[in-house]
Amino acid sequence: MSAPTPLKGIKVVEFTHMVMGPTVGHILAGLGAEVVRVEPIGGDQTRRLLGSGAGYFPMYNRGKQSICLDLKSAEGLAVARDLCAQADILVENFRPGALDRLGLGYEPLSEINPRLIYCSEKGFLPGPYEQRTALDEVAQMMGGLAYMTGPPGKPLRAGASVIDVTGGMFGVIGVLAALEERHRTGRGQKVVASLFETTAYLVGQHMAQFAVTGKPAAPMPARVSAWAIYDVFETQDDPVFIGVVTDALWEKFCAIFELDDLWADESIRANNQRVLARDRILPRIRELIGGMTRAEVIARLDGTGMPFAPIGKPEELFDDPHLNAGGMEPVTLDTGAQTKLPTIPLEMDGKRPGAAQTLPVPGRDAQDVLKSLGYDTGKIEALIASGAVGEGE
């Protein structure tokens, strides 16, 4: 089955690095847009990150073309402007003012391309912090997410680049809204998404909790849950999360695990009653689950409609049968090694995005991109010879 391509024919030029900006381009490319990634000569430094950064480039740069430009040269800058003049969408996530100083800000580009949608992914939206440098971790610390994730007194960032990725998703939402408005007005616009405000949006439920109750939300490891059974339970081998979030599920849970005496106790039939009786209920449940293996617990819960989850690890997802039924796509890495990575988590008209992908080699698509701009062979050769355009490997 062919992948959905609702953005076919939409041209995107991308000036990005790290995660937040590339996420925007990756989602747009996954939906069928033609994305040209502008990299410095020799390629983006993100390609060479080690440790936790080693997966950034392969995850968020599939499905793109690559051209390497020396934006400090007049010739390279002219190529960049020509790309922007023919683009529908520009994506950038460099420090505030970086592209403006090169003459690649929204105002001058919108003069030569009034239909351009200019997506800036920043640390902060306009305000007192606007010029600060932000990272995913900075936003998580400032915005309360790290406080809510770790135990009291020990803020802990989430275990993935959730703010970079979610901020990129908000950028895509803004871009798609701007595309729809362009259908009516014929004009593009500037769209800005940010790390800090994205974090505030995610922890907004805890802000609302304070507004409703007058009590600060406790960090998740120390929270008073809205449900009595909503936790990770140790088994004889590996832990399992179980959530009993309705009174009907409580009845079902008691039946599955033969807890007839608990179901007979009418003082805990209602959810809020069970929450107040957690100290009485939980030790019994922990003892019960602790006497079983994970496989035995899952065997009882699977297919019942009970919310549960084994505690998965990222490396185990490669073999997950559900993901492999349509949520993964084959990828050829820079080394030539073959792997598979998650595709965009959508279904459209019964189809899933995703296709075999090869990561763009730095500058690999330079000649094709330049030809698409109308450059003749002589001009292309002169640009490469001058060093303004990097020759693909």
Residue 359: which of 392, 391, 332 has the closest Cα?
Answer: 332
Q: Identify the residue with better confidence: 178 or 223.
A: 178
Q: What is the mean pLDDT of residues 180-209?
A: 98
In tens, the pLDDT along 295-327 reads 999 999 999 999 999 999 999 999 999 999 999
Neighbouring residues of 218: CB distance < 8 A, sequence distance ≥ 6: 152, 224
DSSP calls for 119-158: EEEESS-SSTTTTS---HHHHHHHTTHHHHHSSTT-----
Does the pLDDT at position 157 exceed 70?
A: yes
Q: In whole angstroms, what is the distance from residue 41 CA to residue 185 CA?
A: 38
Residue 39: which of 359, 337, 372, 371 has the closest Cα?
Answer: 359
Does the pLDDT at position 1 exceed 60?
A: no
Q: In whole angstroms, what is the distance from residue 117 CA to residue 125 CA?
A: 17
In tens, the pLDDT along 345-382 reads 999 999 999 889 989 899 999 999 999 999 999 999 99
Positive or negative torsion for Cα 313, 317, 319, 321: positive
Instruction: Using a pLDDT cut of 70, give the percent of the chain over it.
Output: 99
Q: What pTM did the predictor assign?
A: 0.94
In tens, the pLDDT along 212-257 reads 999 999 999 988 889 999 999 999 999 999 999 999 999 999 999 9
Q: What is the mean pLDDT of residues 54-76?
A: 97
Q: What is the mean pLDDT of residues 70-85?
A: 98
- For the chain, the C-alpha Rg in angstroms (whole number) is 25
Q: What is the mean pLDDT of residues 31-58?
A: 96
Q: In whole angstroms, what is the distance from residue 91 CA to residue 12 CA?
A: 7
Does the pLDDT at position 70 exceed 60?
A: yes
In tens, the pLDDT along 128-144 reads 999 999 999 999 999 99
Q: In whole angstroms, what is the distance from residue 121 CA to residue 291 CA?
A: 50
What the block records as the tokens of 328 is 């993964």
Neighbouring residues of 115: CB distance < 8 A, sequence distance ≥ 6: 88, 182, 186, 187, 188
Domains of the chain, first to last: 11-202+326-386 (3.40.50.10540), 225-315 (3.30.1540.10)
Note the pLDDT of residue 329.
95
